[in-house]
C-alpha cells in the first residue's frame, strides 16, 4: 500500500513542479485497504483463456480484499509491455503476467523490479536473462503435455504409417514450443510418421477451421490432426464435417486443454485424446500473494498437476466435477 502513496506523492510533485498531471490515476481512496493487482492477460483467444480470466477475477475479487486491474492484450506482446508500464505508473502492489511469448521481457521486468513491484508469472514461461526479475511462476509443463499426446499416438498406432497435420499455437509461446517439441521428438523416432502440414492457427477456432478447409480444398490426405488447443480442434472438426468426413473415424484428433466442450467431444468419439492444461490459476495466485503479504517466500517455479482423457477414461462424473 505504501507504494501507492509514494506514487501519489510523486504525482503531486509532478503537478507542482511542472504543472502537468500523469496520464493515469495513481491512487484512489475507495481502494485504500485493498491489495491492488495489475493483471496483463494474453487475450480472449480460447475457452481456456476465458476460464483463466474468470478464475483470476473470482479469486482476486473485492470481496476477497483485492482490486484487480485487468488488461487484455489481444495476443500482442507490445500491448502487454504497455500495460505493465501503466501498472508501474499506477503504483500497483503486484503485477501478474500471463505472457504471450517467452522472449522479450527483460527491459520491462527490470523496470518493475526497480519500482519494487513483485511480478508473478502465470501459465506460460518467460526466458529471462536474470530470474530475479520475477518473484515466481506457476503454470503447465507443456513439453510433458506434448510427450503425453505422442505417447497415446504411439500406443494407438505403433509403427503404422501416419500422415499428420499439425495446427500450432502462437509461435514463440511456451504452449506452442513444448507441444511442438513433443511431436518433433516423436517424428524423429518414427520415420513412418509423415508431417504433411504445419502452420499456426493462433489458438483460435476460426483459424483452425480456415487451415483445415484450405487443406481439404487442396485435397491433402491425412490421418491425424495434432491440434495444439481445443479451439483449433473445434474449427478443424467443423471443417471435416463440412467436407463429409467423420472426426474420430476418418481422422484421429489429438487436442490440448480438456475444456468442458472438448471433453463432450471426447465422449462423443470426435476428439480421440485430450491432454489437460489447467487454467484455474486464480486461487493459486491468491495463495502466493497471501504468502508474500505474510512475509513468506513462495517456490520459484510450480508446475500444476494435469490429466489426460480418451474415450476409455472419460466419464460423466469426471465431466460434472470439473471447473472449466
For ligand AHR, which is the closer residue by CB, 46 or 90?
A: 46
Q: How far apart are the first and last CA of the chain?
A: 34
| Binding flag, residue 183, ligand AHR (CB under 6 A) | no
Query: How far are the Cα atoms of 28, 73, 100, 127 from residue 121, in angstroms, in the given order?
Result: 26, 15, 11, 11
Going residue by residue from 184 to 213, which x/- string records binding to ligand AHR, judged by CB under 6 A?
-------------------x----------
| Binding flag, residue 45, ligand AHR (CB under 6 A) | yes
The count of residues interacting with ligand AHR (CB under 6 A) is 12
Among 148, 257, 270, 276, binds ligand AHR (CB under 6 A): 257
| Binding flag, residue 56, ligand AHR (CB under 6 A) | no
Which of these, 310, 248, 246, lies nearest to 275 by C-alpha position? 310
Given the rule CB under 6 A, which of 28-36, 40-48, 153-161, 294-302 is the region that contacts ligand AHR? 40-48
For ligand AHR, which is the closer residue by CB, 112 or 175?
A: 175
Query: How far are the Cα atoms of 56, 71, 103, 219, 285 from residue 95, in angstroms, in the given order?
Result: 13, 11, 18, 48, 11
What CA dihedral angle connects 47, 277, 311 and 230, to 10 degrees? 30
| Binding flag, residue 256, ligand AHR (CB under 6 A) | yes
| Binding flag, residue 277, ligand AHR (CB under 6 A) | yes
- Using the Cα atoms of residue 142, residue 143, residue 146 and residue 147 in order, give the sign of their dihedral: negative
Q: Which residues contact 60 (CB under 8 A, 6 or more apart)?
A: 37, 39, 66, 68, 282, 285, 286, 289
Q: How far apart are CA 43 and CA 76, in angstroms?
A: 8
Going residue by residue from 282 to 321, which x/- string records binding to ligand AHR, judged by CB under 6 A?
----------------------------------------
| Length of the chain (residues) | 324
Q: How far apart are CA 203 and CA 233, in angstroms?
A: 9
Among 93, 123, 148, 274, binds ligand AHR (CB under 6 A): 123
| Binding flag, residue 48, ligand AHR (CB under 6 A) | yes
State the nearest-atom distance from the C-beta of 235 to ligand AHR, in Å: 12
| Binding flag, residue 41, ligand AHR (CB under 6 A) | no
Query: How far are the Cα atoms of 127, 192, 270, 297, 304 from residue 132, in angstroms, in the given order?
Result: 12, 45, 45, 13, 22
State the nearest-atom distance from the C-beta of 202 to ligand AHR, in Å: 9
Given the rule CB under 6 A, which of 5-13, 43-51, 186-194, 285-293 is the region that contacts ligand AHR? 43-51
State the nearest-atom distance from the C-beta of 19 to ligand AHR, in Å: 45
| Binding flag, residue 229, ligand AHR (CB under 6 A) | yes
Residues near ligand AHR (CB under 6 A): 45-46, 48-49, 123-124, 175, 203, 229, 256-257, 277
Amino acid at each position: 500500500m505504501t507504494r501507492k502513496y509514494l506514487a501519489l506523492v510523486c504525482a503531486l510533485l509532478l503537478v507542482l513542479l511542472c504543472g502537468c498531471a500523469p496520464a493515469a490515476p495513481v491512487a484512489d481512496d475507495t481502494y485504500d485497504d485493498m491489495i491492488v493487482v495489475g493483471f496483463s492477460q494474453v487475450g480472449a483467444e480460447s475457452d481456456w483463456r476465458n476460464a483463466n480470466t474468470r478464475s483470476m477475477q473470482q479469486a482476486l475479487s473485492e470481496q476477497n480484499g483485492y482490486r484487480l486491474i485487468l488488461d487484455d492484450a489481444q495476443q500482442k506482446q507490445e500491448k502487454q509491455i504497455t500495460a505493465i508500464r501503466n501498472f508501474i505508473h499506477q503504483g500497483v502492489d503486484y503485477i501478474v503476467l500471463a505472457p504471450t511469448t517467452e522472449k522479450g521481457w527483460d527491459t520491462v521486468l527490470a523496470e518493475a523490479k526497480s519500482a519494487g513491484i513483485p511480478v508473478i508469472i502465470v501459465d506460460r514461461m518467460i526466458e529471462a536473462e536474470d530470474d530475479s526479475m520475477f518473484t515466481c511462476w506457476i503454470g503447465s509443463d507443456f513439453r510433458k503435455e506434448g510427450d503425453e499426446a505422442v505417447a497415446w499416438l504411439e500406443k494407438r498406432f505403433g509403427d503404422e504409417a501416419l500422415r499428420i497435420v499439425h495446427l500450432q499455437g502462437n509461435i514463440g509461446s511456451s504452449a506452442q514450443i513444448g507441444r511442438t517439441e513433443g511431436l518433433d521428438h516423436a517424428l524423429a523416432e518414427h520415420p513412418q510418421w509423415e508431417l504433411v502440414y504445419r502452420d499456426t492457427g493462433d489458438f483460435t477456432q476460426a483459424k483452425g477451421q480456415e487451415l483445415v478447409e484450405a487443406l481439404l480444398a487442396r485435397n491433402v490426405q491425412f490421418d491425424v490432426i495434432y491440434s495444439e488447443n481445443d479451439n483449433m480442434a473445434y474449427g478443424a472438426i467443423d471443417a471435416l464435417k463440412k467436407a463429409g468426413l467423420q472426426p474420430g473415424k476418418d481422422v484421429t484428433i489429438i487436442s490440448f486443454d480438456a475444456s468442458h466442450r472438448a471433453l463432450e467431444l471426447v465422449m462423443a468419439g470426435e476428439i480421440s485424446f485430450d491432454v489437460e492444461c489447467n487454467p484455474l490459476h486464480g486461487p493459486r495466485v491468491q495463495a502466493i500473494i497471501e504468502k508474500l503479504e505474510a512475509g513468506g517466500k513462495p517456490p520459484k517455479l510450480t508446475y500444476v498437476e494435469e490429466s489426460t482423457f480418451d474415450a476409455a477414461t472419460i466419464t460423466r462424473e469426471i465431466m460434472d466435477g470439473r471447473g472449466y
